[in-house]
Chains A and B, each alone.
Chain A
Amino acid sequence: MVRGSIKLLKDAGSGLSKTLADILVCPLSKQPLRFCEQTNSLISDAIGVSFPIKDGIPSLVPTDGKTLEADETIKTEDSEESSDKHEADGIGSH
């Protein structure tokens, strides 16, 4: 049990398995998600929203999404970012 817990913590630190990140899509746009190691989150570049990963479990409930700040979206090449961003504002605010 103790060993199990330690392992769980380790997993939480390393984010989530590659297979999981690969199959998941944005719950709103249904576009691919990008794993961001720095923030330990999954980013939907299509709508400029990031979804947290808590204890190794990705949280992809639309209301858990946070609109990305402008500097975070610079990394992405998608030029439609800014126009979509404002409309995503509502989803993180519940």
Chain B
Amino acid sequence: MVMALRTVTRKSGSKLLPRFSPAALLHSHATSFGFKEVREEEKSRMVGNVFSNVASNYDLMNDVMSAGLHRLWKDRLVSKLNPFPGMKHLDVAGGTGDVAFRILDSVNSIRRRAMQDVLEDDIQEETKIYVCDINPNMLNVGKKRALERGIGEDKSLLWVEGDAEALSFGDNTMDGYTIAFGIRNVTHIEKVLSEAYRVLKHGGRFLCLELSHVDIPVFKEFYDFYSFSVIPALGELVAGDRKSYQYLVESIRRFPPQEKFASMIADAGFQQVEYENLVGGVVAIHSGLKV
């Protein structure tokens, strides 16, 4: 306990952690990088390497590995968010823009419908979707894709390189927060959740899409085989990178199961915490409300 405290203090300087919370005491020095135990300082660097390696093939590999299903999962995530014109939204770990583009599309389609009615001026209040990712390579992929989609100049999309554990947004500033396939890779899940809670306005919704745990007997065996035998091979074949995809499947197994993660979200202060399993728990969408 005392040693953990000392490490945190030495690493960042006590003044730099004004919001230092008891949760920080719960962490040990060691954390997981896939099935490997690594030092906490190591994990972010190693995860950084993985995502720098996979950035250029990221979307292709997502399509290949999930047979295109990740698109439907992201659609589902955004439909749960209920985006609205004028909303301020933060999408964390969303460098390639996949979730942000969907939110923007959804807002724009609502706006178009509203325009056909009357008085649209109030609705024109600026929508802002902040895309925050710790990895500049992923952000560059996203910015490039925005240009290709003809929304490179869209004032609603804003790109920020930042850390989910130490967000650079003020308290109570966001109507929504999403993190898709990101929280599994962070070093301290609790810190990410408490930062999400901090930046959300009262009434703001937290939504997390993450690869989760399958508990259905025969399907589980198939899924394990697919994960440990097929995915690393696909990674090698398609992206020329077996190791990064080995990390991917291991990190999924190390992530807390649905119930446990839900209780962590509640511990961060969120209410009405619930989750929905998709494809038998291959992925889950957790949600919580800041009231």
Contacts and interface: CB of A to CB of B under 8 A. Distances in A.
B168 A27 contact: yes
A57 B16 contact: no
A20 B13 contact: no
A57 B160 contact: yes
A91 B16 contact: yes
Interface stretch (B22-30, B117-125, B150-158, B225-233): B150-158
- Please report whether the interface of chain A is mostly helix, strand, loop or mixed according to DSSP: mixed
Nearest to B14: A87
Contact of B15 (A7, A55, A56, A84): A84
B166 interface: yes
A29 interface: yes
Contacts of B155: 17, 19
Contact of B168 (A1, A60, A94): A60
Interface stretch (B108-116, B132-140, B234-242, B280-288): B132-140
Contact of B153 (A7, A25, A28, A47): A7
Contacts of B143: 8, 55, 57
Contacts of A61: 134, 161-163, 166
Chain B interface size range: 35 or more
Contacts of B41: 94
B136 A62 contact: no
Interface string B1-43: 0000000001111111111000000000000000000000100
A57 B162 CA distance: 10
A10 to B, nearest CB: 11
Contacts of B128: 19, 23
Contacts of B134: 61
B225 to A, nearest CB: 37
B13 A1 contact: no
17 contacts: A17-B155, A19-B126, A23-B173, A26-B168, A28-B16, A28-B166, A30-B18, A47-B15, A54-B136, A57-B161, A58-B168, A59-B136, A62-B163, A87-B15, A88-B16, A90-B13, A94-B41
Interface of B: 10-19, 41, 126, 128, 130, 134, 136, 139-140, 143, 147-148, 152-153, 155, 158-163, 166-171, 173
Identify the 5 closest CB pairs spanning chains A and B, nearest first: A87-B13, A60-B168, A27-B166, A59-B161, A27-B168
Given A7-B152, A24-B169, A88-B16, 18 more contacts: A4-B147, A5-B147, A7-B153, A29-B16, A29-B18, A30-B18, A54-B136, A55-B140, A56-B159, A57-B139, A57-B159, A58-B161, A60-B161, A60-B163, A61-B161, A87-B13, A87-B16, A90-B12
